[in-house]
A and B are shown apart, each in its own frame.
Chain A
Amino acid sequence: MAEAKTHNNSNKPRPRILIYLAIQIITHSTIVSVICFIAGIVALLLLPVLAKNTYISENALMPGSATNMLSSHDVAEANKLVKDLTDLKLRSNGSPIESRKLIAQYMLGLDAEVTYHNFYPQLNQFHPLHFFTSPDSSIISKNISCASIGINTVGIIRAPRGDGKEAIVLVTPYNPKKVVLGEALSLGVAYSVFSLLSRVTWLAKDIIWLVADSQYGEYSSVSAWLREYQAPQFHRVVVNSETCNESSTIEGNLYSGFRRAGTIAAALVVKIAEDGNHFDDSLNIYAEASNGQMPNLDLINIVNYLAVHKQHLRIKVSKMWSLLGSKWLNTLGVFWECIGQYARRLNPQWKFGIPANEYVEGTATLASSMYYQGLGVPTGPHGAFRDYQVDAITVEISPKVSPTKMNRHIDFIFRGGRLIEGVVRSINNLLEKFHQSFFLYLLTSPSKFVSVGVYMIPFALLGAPLPIVAASLYMFSSKATPQAPVASEVDFSLESWKWINSAKKVFVIHLWGVAVSLLPYFLCRIPGLTPTNNLTVWGSFAVLSLVILFSMLGYPTSVAVPSEAEKREWANLKSVTLSAIFIGLSLMSVINFATAEIGALLIVPFCLMARPLMLDIQARSMRTLLLATCNLALGFIAFPPCAFLLLKSAFDSSGGYNISDYWNWMESLWAWNSATYLYIGIVHLPCWALCIHILFHPS
């Protein structure tokens, strides 16, 4: 068709240059799309090289400008708290009431306002449109007993001269049922900071210390507290709560109601790892909230700055360890390095390219942060804050030796306390809420990031071929039908509405996708089903319904010799499918970029290349057969379970690929209301099915 087009161009006056360009692009859509796709992949691999150094863009923060005031007295007190907790565990084998009372006493000792917050842990249920709805006060399920009640201990310090409009939250997850030393130590660190802040005069925001009862999971307790804080229910449903809250009265208080303190400016979750890593005291930062929402980059920056420059801790963000050893990444890194050196030789101003090992590290970090963002599952209790527009991160200090074997708790608490104090102090300096720095970014190392403006480029390059190919296909399908002479009876061939049929088909398949993605919600109601059974039921339902749908849509199998229009029909369908996946991908790139990027990598090549196998088989040439085979291969890869298993096998070295893992994975996705699940069910799967349909289209 290309040469026909060019021939037409030749015998008419040359159009304007823009139009000419457009014609060329559309006519050579295959080449253009291949180029775009390769460029997209290259740009994706270049991201670690293009990463910028982080910088603190909010001037008011001034991290580390003030000298630390944390005194050894506070730390001694904190250490005493830790000892008491551990003794308590030894003495009365950890009755939760006792340890809670102990913590409350310590808080009261600091003139803090202390309350208990009773909550009923609710297992997170599927809520398909959670992303679009404001977090509302959810319904307490009726069948709860006092055994299943969780109790957070909350201490509040009012800023002496502040007006109490804002607050900073410190969260220490703590399981009173089984006290482990790490949690006790984290309590100690928080307590040392708390006791310091109860004295200082520079405090402008109130301080809330939330000891989250993590026996039902850290996230649920924190989110329950936040729900009570932000959207309480005033008409309490009366479960047998009279017997429940006998422990929720604290002497020395006016009333033991729920207490609040202003708008939450930021939140900091402090944890201490159980097992020591043997290099050095280091600090892990977890920042991903639900649907890949990230806190403001400044928050990570100040933690990073203070930890590195003041407390000399090693900062770590999670990496894909499997990528570190990979050869091809290393060679690629070397290649970039060479290019960078060459460029620098050309012009010393060009600072391009980084050392190979750094590149590998960056890629591993980038991959993991893309993975966790794409998963859409919060990586810690800080995720609950993000739903209320509060910036929060989890700071996990992992000591050199395991805390159980650690002989000197004092100086460990000292370092941690000073770090937290510095962070709190610089947040306390903040006049406005975090808004200066980035919200949309990917980390390639604790001090390097890729901002949205850069990481959108690979995605745009990956997505660009879709409309082009769709355009050319549409042209192809519409050009084929002979032009009906105007004003004859057959004029009533809705020329420009031919896409309606294909659109109908695509729409129905998407409806099927919706049904398939809603099914697990009902499946998990049936008790006593192993993941494998669930998966089999699910898959069989999906396949069955798909077959029925195709039979209803009149899957043209019986057509002996398809007419011209039917020959073209697949092209029309494919163009509509391409536009659908384009809309879906661009939508997802707004909701959760990483998912869209990964999804594009998987589905775009298949969508672009999919063409009926019949054509390839009829024309028996080497090239077409190659095309057919790689179509099949791509189709296999793009199928979600296969893609999941392949990636799993690629990335985690621990073997054991069980198909039921897929079910568990999906279950975790929808349990956490991740938009990725909706993407897979409503965008990815239907488009895959449509491409398969095109693949086996008889023409």
Chain B
Amino acid sequence: MTKKKKVQWFWMWVIGSVTLRLILVYFPRNLNLSSRPEVSTPLTSLRRLAEGYWLKRSSMSPYAGSMYHGSPLLLALLGPLTVTRIEGQPDQLLCSLVFVIADVISATLIRAAGRSLQAAYSSSLKVLGLHQLSETSEVLPSGDFAALVYLWNPFTIIACVGLSTSAIENLVVVLSLYGACKRLASLAAFGWVLATHLSFYPSILIIPVILLLGYGPDAPPRKLFQRRIKLEVGNSSSIGSDHLKEELKDQSSMLKVFAWRLVVHFLIWILLWSSYVLVLCGIYLQKHGGLQELYRRTYGFILTIPDLSPNIGVLWYFFAEVFDFFRSFFLMVFHGNILLMIMPLALRLNHRPCFLAFVYIMISSLLKSYPSVGDSALYLGLLGLFSYELKDIRFSFLLFAGYVGVSLLSPVMHNLWIWRGTGNANFYYATAIAYALFQVALVIECVNCMLNHDRMVTKLTTTKLKDAKS
């Protein structure tokens, strides 16, 4: 019944957040959030999308004029909404409604995924015989928690009201994670393909998704199960009765084997979906250079960072200042920085694929070429999913204060540089550096904390095994 009560206030909070968003949508537009560099990057700004749609309608390539760099599907979905005006309503009302809905959907998906994660985790702890832990792990409803964090995070709200398409990108990422948690290969494949198609960086999520489908949701390290099984077998052989053997069977079935069939399904689905998406894009861009134009203008734009307009990342200033003959080298270095980290993390955290996905998302949002607060909103929301494992994270208040301070300071610095003209670019760059530092600290602390949690679990199980032996 406690659960039920939680559900009630959960929906209340959701409604509250939606109303807050609507109020902000109707807020006088002199705050013009939609043109803040923190919100609208060249990839996510709706204004550029409207321009692309206008070009398309006047029978030109939407990518002509290096304005729009998003996906044609998004253009086909949101484009018509950008030109329809309702009398008396703020323009772009429909788009903001779409974004609000997307936020709510992704929040509910996060919640469902979190619940399944929590259930699986507590059951696996039970299998290990750590009953108190499994109880305590259920005290905090991490799913609801994560969903609310995602909904009420100021970053999410600003990105949603500021008409940045990152809400939809986040939605498809969450969709693929949800599908993987629920072991729906087709849904996961759909989400993954769309996410890759929209913002390219989620393509590295294929590893955690495959792990998730293969091994199931997060669990303590696998060798603990093996030890336990060994021990049980030993005991049972010493005693030797049948029903014990029976329960040993299903326990050993609890010890997960890699579910190849599901993964193969997943890969097949990926093929299907991606071919489908590509065909659609090809049809859309038939007369305008077709697919290679698409790749050049989206992925090419993301990889070779030609647009140097400021954002909360540090790369814009770096590539505005760096010497031209080093440019390609540094491009390789910064993108390689993401790829280099994939393998070690995958090896170390392969028993926690969901957390692995979270870390990947965080790293990519730290190192991506045009970051915006929408990305931060996503990983901060997912952070709530692991509120039990990460409950004793260090520097929590420091990081909180840091995020608050930077997110307040960066608009002021930008204003001083761009609008007042009394500051210079270094002011804004300094806040970007600080923001990057805090993100680095957060990712490292999360990984540390998760590893420590694993150590704690291992320690407990080994002690249990010890006194079980003796």
What residues of chain A have their CB less than 8 Å away from a CB belonging to chain B? 127, 129, 131-134, 136, 293-294, 386, 389, 439-440, 474, 486-489, 491-492, 494-497, 499, 503, 576, 579, 583, 586-587, 590-591
Contacts and interface: CB of A to CB of B under 8 A. Distances in A.
Interface string B446-470: 0000000000100010000000000
A464 to B, nearest CB: 16
B405 interface: yes
B132 A136 contact: no
6 contacts: A389-B419, A496-B397, A583-B405, A587-B408, A587-B409, A591-B416
A481 to B, nearest CB: 13
A389 B421 contact: yes
Given A129-B31, A495-B392, A486 B456 contact: yes
Contacts of B140: 492
A635 to B, nearest CB: 25
Contacts of B416: 590-591
B405 A586 contact: yes
Nearest to A584: B408
Contacts of B405: 583, 586-587
A496 B393 contact: yes
A122 to B, nearest CB: 15
B391 A497 contact: yes
Contact of A133 (B32, B139, B392, B396): B32
Contacts of A127: 30
Nearest to B408: A587
A488 B391 CA distance: 15
Interface in B130-167: 130, 132-133, 135-136, 139-140
A590 B421 CA distance: 13
Given A488-B132, A499-B396, A590-B427, 8 more contacts: A127-B30, A132-B31, A132-B412, A134-B32, A386-B420, A487-B132, A494-B392, A497-B396
Given A487-B132, A583-B404, A591 B397 contact: no
A439 B416 CA distance: 11
B-side interface size class: 35 or more
Interface in B386-411: 391-397, 400-401, 404-405, 408-409, 411
Interface string B321-358: 00000000000000000000000000000000000000
B422 interface: yes
A499 B397 CA distance: 7
A470 B405 CA distance: 16
B2 to A, nearest CB: 15
- Which of A132, A386, A389, A499 is the most central at the interface, judged by chain B CB atoms within 10 Å of its CB? A132
Interface string B404-435: 11001101110110011111000100000000
A561 to B, nearest CB: 29
B412 A136 contact: no
A591 B411 CA distance: 11
Contacts of B413: 590
A496 B460 contact: no
Contacts of B32: 133-134
- Which of B140, B401, B427, B456 is the most central at the interface, judged by chain A CB atoms within 10 Å of its CB? B401
Contacts of B401: 579, 583
Contacts of A486: 456
Contact of B456 (A131, A487, A579, A591): A487
Nearest to B400: A503
A92 B106 CA distance: 75
Contact of A591 (B133, B393, B412): B412
A389 B415 CA distance: 12
A590 B413 CA distance: 7
A133 B30 contact: yes
A441 to B, nearest CB: 10
A583 B420 contact: no
A211 to B, nearest CB: 27
- Which of A294, A586, A590 is the most central at the interface, judged by chain B CB atoms within 10 Å of its CB? A590
A411 to B, nearest CB: 39
B412 A590 contact: yes
B136 A491 contact: yes
A486 B411 CA distance: 43
The 5 closest A-B pairs by CB, nearest first: A439-B422, A389-B421, A499-B397, A583-B405, A496-B396
B132 A389 contact: no
Contact of A132 (B400, B411, B456): B411
A692 to B, nearest CB: 22
B139 A583 contact: no
A136 B136 contact: no
Nearest to A295: B422
- Which of A133, A294, A440, A474 is the most central at the interface, judged by chain B CB atoms within 10 Å of its CB? A133
Contacts of B411: 132
Nearest to A494: B391
Interface in B1-55: 30-32
Given A389-B421, A487-B456, A489-B135, A133 B31 contact: yes
A136 B30 contact: yes
A386 B421 CA distance: 9
A487 B137 CA distance: 11
Nearest to B136: A492
A286 to B, nearest CB: 18
A132 B414 CA distance: 9
Contacts of B422: 293-294, 439-440
B31 A134 contact: no
Nearest to A134: B419
A496 B409 contact: no
A583 B400 contact: no
A129 B130 CA distance: 54
A411 B456 CA distance: 90
A387 B97 CA distance: 34
Nearest to A498: B397
